[in-house]
Structure 1
Amino acid sequence: MKRNYINLILSVATLLGLASCTDFLDVKPEDKMLEETVFANKQGVNLALNGLYVKMAGANLYGENLTLSTVEVLGQRYNLSSLNGTFYSASQYNWAESPVSGRMSNVWGDAYSTIMNINRFLQNLEANPGIIDAKTDSIYRGEAIAMRAMLHFDVLRLFGPRYSTADSTQISIPYYDKLENVARPLLPANEVMKNIVADLNHAEKLLVNDPVITLGVRSTTTSTDAMMNRNYRFNYFAVKALQARVNLYRGDKAIALAAAKAVIDNASKFPWTTLANSNEKVNPDRIFSTEMILGAYTTALYTEHNILFLESLEDNVILSPTDKLLKSVFEVDPTTGAGVGGNDYRFKLNWDVPSATSTKTYRTFNKYADITRKTFGFRNTIPLLKISEMYYIAAECEPDQNQALNYLMTVRTNRGLDPLTSVPNLQNEIFKEYQKEFFGEGQLFFYYKRTNAATIPSGVDGAPAIKMDASKYVVPLPQSESQFH
């Protein structure tokens, strides 16, 4: 999905987009005419699939809510006061208040409308054989089914119960694996998870001939070939990486480890970013794009950055942690700047020291700030799956503690940190890495929920840790949807 025909893709995505799961169930005659036009040739099929990626990268999903802002607020990333009318209710888990309830309703609605569009895409591929060759058809279906699994998984992580032995059988969300004009019933969380795993296993088989397996990502800014820039699409290794994430959440560590190792064994395709190539002063690669297994491309990224993180924003508007909290996360002495995290690439690159004209007393988040050179391939990109997470999952799931430590140390040394010779509490070190690694990527809150953390350190300066329970971890179904179940 490349830049020189993104506007055409956006027009298709707009035609495909609808407001909510239940609204989408009504297929109108004009929509049928659109389908026939889109699926008349290979270009139309490409545009339809790319339109699904554009929908996923919208602000209500991975373009903001599930990465930069709302889910990060739930993880207490930022120092928010009651004056922040947009995000304060989310930071307090006050689900009934309109700012957070509206955002969660938008996540639900866009996730399910995209899922239904995915199912429509798959149905049309089935109904129009021969438009694309068999190999491409298999890859496209694999990508779409993997997208469907990922969207269901993140809706489950938000709206479903804590996935512990006691909670996994609780009623959660519906699963849509085909296009139909009736609302599906709410399923127990473990049944939803079985469907997610089944979709990922199916996608893996369909992607067995993905060129990424033999040729790698093949980054380019000049080609619109769908078999290039595979880390912007649901490639074979993205499926394996999501299998690792899903099965760890499910508690099946053996399968999670095997999936993570399948990616680690191909880590040369996702090489570590070095400080030399990420610290280029004018055009720094702050997202570590070479390590990205799957990313979302959104032309609205820098507008979102300026709305959320720009240094000139007022203190009651900007999303930023206190200086004390940030340095605590990176293990930097708040007074001297010394400590193990002082040389951490993530600390040095992604956090701006206040400028001479600023009144700020804290660093501001610049991971998604624009760069000067507009031709760089990593512009407009939000990472969704990275090689670092595979090492964290392997470290958590590996029964051999020496090998587990080696996995963790691999990430640390590739972030500019000294290796640890011994670790009295490996899980705590993994937790520290989740805090450092995934700022602006939406994974920390889900780490807390997966591990059923009893408390979360508050993002508010001086406030005590927040006691967590099901009422805070589980987002209620949107009111517009609960009436149907």
Structure 2
Amino acid sequence: MKRTYFTLLITTALAILTLGSCKKFLNVTPEDKVIETQIFSTKIGVQTALNGLYLSLATNQLYGDNLTLSTVEVLAQRYNIPSTHDLYKIATYAYTDAPASTRLETIWTNAYGTILNVNSFLENIEKYKGTVDEQTESVFKGEAIAMRAFLHFDLLRLYGPRYSTADSTKQSLPYYAATKSSINPLLPANEFIVNIINDLNTAANLLQNDPVITTGVSTPRVNETVDFFKSNRNFRFNYYAVKGLLARVYLYRGDKVSALKNAKEVIAVANKFPWTTSTNALSEKQNPDRVFSTEMLLGVSNTQLYSRYTALFDPSVTDGTILAPLPARLNTVFETNENDYRFNLNWQIPSTGVKSYRTFYKYADIVDKTKLFRFTIPLLKISEMYYIAAESEPLSADGIALINIVRANRGLLPLATTAVVNTELQKEYQKEFFGEGQLFYYYKRRNITSIGNGSGTSSITVNYAVPMPLSESQYR
């Protein structure tokens, strides 16, 4: 099989390591050997290589846009997409038509390309053992293995079958745990997800000495020196992010006992990921933290975020191009409740008068450019742990109590103990994860085949059978 992957890990690391010193790399040894040696023979080189992996996650092709802001959100019918829109084929599930096929190809290629680079990192950190101390090596390897599992899982959620069906035993996707030139076989989803769980458990074991356990997220102050090992742990695959991902994976698999166990382990240390405040949500006008970054177990930093906001959501974007819901549908989602932090803060009618309807401000820039939560896109938050636990609790009343904890921290009144857990959870997923890429996967996991059409008042039948790109299938 022919593959074309961009090895961002190597090229990014090389660019950083060789700034201002290109001449010394001329006429020496083969380029790939020079690159490998230069990167993995120094501590800063290893750190740079690991950072390169995180940079690749944050690109627009992956979690900087496609898998959070746009493509997967359109699959969930979040927005009103006219027939002239570039995302119309995605909105109508015409997966094999351009430009939908191109978008899906881009996601697949970049995800597997990043997995290839993760495996290269793991092999090289082992090959050049001793470059970093034992504890650092263990944490770095844990982060990389967790990233590999994370990417495989989202590939499964997007391109794989609906899991809780007979299709779970059919051939679906290849799993890559090593760099190799041969083609890995397509695995049934039930085997594929075992590999994901094994990788996450391995990562959790390697992260037993993760600084997040003792010192928390460790967000540095403005102008404070950043410690690569200890700082900003919620932008890295830290121990609690791995446990949260295990909860997410186990629930997708239908193993509620294991999902509840892992979710509760994270909930037990929820003080490390404090809820946003009412002051931030309701009073702060110039520099609100709209993504609730303090609650984040895991996120990425996309330096192109505000250019993507300008292109997708800014009120100045034309009606035929902007990503915005129909007003009636948005009001239905938030039950027209202005007390909800997620509604009040992130959805506003522009004061300039260029739009008569609410537009999405979650990823709009702020006044103070020194704020450390700028450029942030959440991938996993503490709220999801409460939702997973609520769905997994044997007693409905216990589940509602967990949902009410989230609601209390979103400015909402508690639900009655007689409320239906799954009904309320669907409402919460619709409200909580706008622009975070989780709703389509929720619908798919729950086998919800008919949802509200983003471009009308009727319902639409969802096509969850996203095909493997032609570049992959034609060689099998």
Q: TM-score range by the shorter chain?
A: over 0.9
- How far the C-alpha of 1:311 sits from its partner, in A, is 0.2
1:424, 1:273 → 2: CA distance?
A: 25
1:224 aligned residue: 226
1:328 aligned residue: 332
1:367 aligned residue: 362
1:254, 1:155 → 2: CA distance?
A: 24
2:321 aligned residue: 317
| Correspondence for 1:379 among 359, 374, 386 | 374
1:428 aligned residue: 423
Secondary structure at the counterpart of residue 62 of structure 1: coil
The structure-2 alpha-carbon separation of the partners of 1:353 and 1:169, relative to structure 1 and needing over 3 Å to count, comes to same
1:237-265 Cα deviation digits (max 9, x unpaired):
00000001111001100000001000000
- How far the C-alpha of 1:183 sits from its partner, in A, is 1.4
1:263 aligned residue: 266
Matched, 1:438 2:436: no
Paired residues of 2:76 and 2:439 also in contact (CA < 8 A): yes
| Correspondence for 2:470 among 460, 464, 479 | 479
1:312-339 Cα deviation digits (max 9, x unpaired):
111110000011110000001xxxxxxx
2:275 aligned residue: 272
2:304 aligned residue: 300
2:300, 2:62 → 1: CA distance?
A: 10
Matched, 1:352 2:356: no
1:28-59 Cα deviation digits (max 9, x unpaired):
95333211111120000000000000001111
Matched, 1:285 2:289: yes
Share of identical aligned residues, percent? 56
Q: CA RMSD in A?
A: 1.8
1:56 aligned residue: 57
2:159 aligned residue: 159
- The unaligned stretches of length 5 or more in structure 2 are 1-8, 18-28
- The list of structure 1 runs, each at least 4 consecutive aligned residues, that deviate by more than 3 angstroms after superposition, is 8-11, 13-16
Secondary structure at the counterpart of residue 168 of structure 2: coil
1:96 aligned residue: 96
Secondary structure at the counterpart of residue 173 of structure 2: coil
2:381, 2:474 → 1: CA distance?
A: 38
Secondary structure at the counterpart of residue 166 of structure 2: coil
1:172 aligned residue: 172
The structure-2 alpha-carbon separation of the partners of 1:298 and 1:345, relative to structure 1 and needing over 3 Å to count, comes to same
The one-letter code sitting in structure 2 at the alignment partner of 1:95 is Y
1:49-77 Cα deviation digits (max 9, x unpaired):
00000001111110000000000000000
419-428 or 265-274, which deviates more: 419-428
- How far the C-alpha of 1:10 sits from its partner, in A, is 8.2
Secondary structure at the counterpart of residue 386 of structure 2: helix
Secondary structure at the counterpart of residue 298 of structure 2: strand
1:68, 1:356 → 2: CA distance?
A: 24
1:179, 1:10 → 2: CA distance?
A: 17
* TM-score for both structures, normalised by structure 1: 0.91
- How far the C-alpha of 1:402 sits from its partner, in A, is 2.1
* TM-score for both structures, normalised by structure 2: 0.93
Paired residues of 1:142 and 1:206 also in contact (CA < 8 A): yes
1:29, 1:219 → 2: CA distance?
A: 41
1:467 aligned residue: 461
Secondary structure at the counterpart of residue 168 of structure 1: helix
1:413 aligned residue: 408
Secondary structure at the counterpart of residue 262 of structure 1: helix
Alignment of 1:65-104 (within 5 A): 65-84=66-85, 86-104=86-104
224-233 or 300-309, which deviates more: 224-233
Paired residues of 1:183 and 1:484 also in contact (CA < 8 A): no
1:118-169 Cα deviation digits (max 9, x unpaired):
0000000110111000000000000000000000000111110000141211
